Amino acid sequence: MKRFWLLFSQAVTVLLAAYFVVATLKPEWLNRRSVIGGSLSVIEAPPSPPGSVAAGSFAPAAKRAAPAVVSINTSTAARHPNSNDPWFRFFFGDRGAEPQAGLGSGVIVSQEGYVLTNNHVVEGADTIEVVLNDARRAQAQVVGTDPETDLAVLKIDLDKLPVMVLGSSDALQVGDQVLAIGNPFGVGQTVTSGIVSALGRNQLGLALYQDFIQTDAAINPGNSGGALVDMSGNLLGINTAIYSRSGGSMGIGFAIPVSTAKLVLEGIVRDGQVTRGWIGVEPNDLSPELAETFGVKATSGVIITGVLQNGPAAQAGIRPGDVIAQVAGRPVVNVSELLSSVAALKPGESAPFAVLRRGEQLTVQVTPGVRPKPQHLQQRP
């Protein structure tokens, strides 16, 4: 009996050893399937456990953020430019208004139904329809717009809305992974991935206040107003524009940081408008020609070529020819940075300005006023 059990144990050991060798070196031998009536064999991977996520997958972030990204359909009744001309109506009849459709994306940011999107998505629209990822639809009302940052706030009336968590765009670094979520070309909600390619892009001419996040995540027409999110599914920015020669993505897209979007959202919801600081100056980027004209020795900063009489800057003693190097401790090297820094100041509360005047460094306390509503996005802080 002992001899029998010894032989049995040895046989089992040999079989297990052989199975281990085959499973290690030739696993396909163990997974071979034969097709009835032929000689074709296929290899099938074992099924993944329910709910498991592949290593490196962006699925958790996409699953968390996607429900709060909506599609926005707009309709505008556009009339022919000559429709009021009696002779035009005599020959061609009353053409009436021809509806024009627009497409964009948006992000639900509160349970009350507030939706962030781009101003250019809804500008001039007669009707705005928001379509959720769960196929629910609702007519949206424009709460307020801010053309100076190309942002708009809409409101929809639906229950149990998915809401996106606001992240921190100030903590972003070049190279961080991001996802872009929106409705490109109207094909339906789409998620693309990439990295943060650059920060602080401000020479693009897209809006008055520019501080864009640049990303290579694919952004296409229809993505405007959609979400740029981090790997936790938190909102980092509102996708707003692309650089393209073909109309499609070329790997250069731009998003408005969530820090800017949050200030616009809070201002519009609370006051119906965005309140910004203003000091009443005519700024220009410092150039050798301007430096020579005003006798300036500074090599960086923003030169002031004009000061509004009795404006906040004039009352604080700022003069033409002064070079502003810092605003409230924040360095400024171009007009866009000066605009953003002054706009962030609270009207009525003084702030220190570091000024260079003919080789002398001064600190001037300026009490900003409320920025007047611009007629045409004029660049005067």
C-beta separation of 326 from 366 below 8 A: no
241 and 228 Cβ atoms separated by less than 8 Å: no
Mean pLDDT of the chain: 81
CATH number where 73 lies: 2.40.10.120
Catalytic residues: 120, 150, 224
Domain stops at, among 253, 274, 295: 274
pLDDT score, position 139? 94
Residues 257 and 130 grouped into a single domain? yes
DSSP H or E segment with residue 192: strand 190-201
Domain that holds residue 130: 57-77+99-274
Domain final residue pick, 274, 299, 317: 274
Residue 146 has pLDDT above 80, yes or no: yes
Could you tell me if residue 242 is inside a domain? yes
Q: What is the pTM of this model?
A: 0.70
Cα separation values, 204 from 201, 214, 223, 336, Å: 7, 11, 19, 10
So what's the pLDDT on residue 15? 78
pLDDT at 90: 46
- 377 domain-assigned: no
**Is residue 80 pLDDT above 60, yes or no?**
no
Tokens 């004029």, located at residue: 378
| pLDDT top residue among 300 and 375 | 300
In the predicted structure, residue 31 carries a pLDDT above the cut 70: no
Whether 65 is in a domain gets the answer yes
Q: Which of 205-209, 218-222, 375-379 has the lowest mean pLDDT?
A: 375-379
Rounded to 5°, the CA angle 173-177-179 comes to 125
235-251, pLDDT tens digit by residue? 999 998 877 655 666 67
Same domain, 131 and 260: yes
Nearest to 45 by CA among 31, 34, 56: 31
| Residue 363 φ/ψ, nearest 5 degrees | -115, 120
Between CA 223 and CA 71 the distance in angstroms is 9
pLDDT of residue 30: 59
Query: pLDDT band for position 87 (50/70/90)?
Result: low
User: Is there a contact between 363 and 355 (Cβ–Cβ < 8 Å)?
Assistant: yes
Amino acid at 205: G
**Final residue of a structural domain among 220, 245, 274:** 274
Q: Which residue has the higher pLDDT, 257 or 52?
A: 257
Token pair recorded at residue 144: 């307020």
State how many domains the chain has: 2
Query: Is 221 domain-assigned?
Result: yes
At 102-135, the pLDDT tens digits run 789 999 999 999 999 999 999 888 899 999 999 8
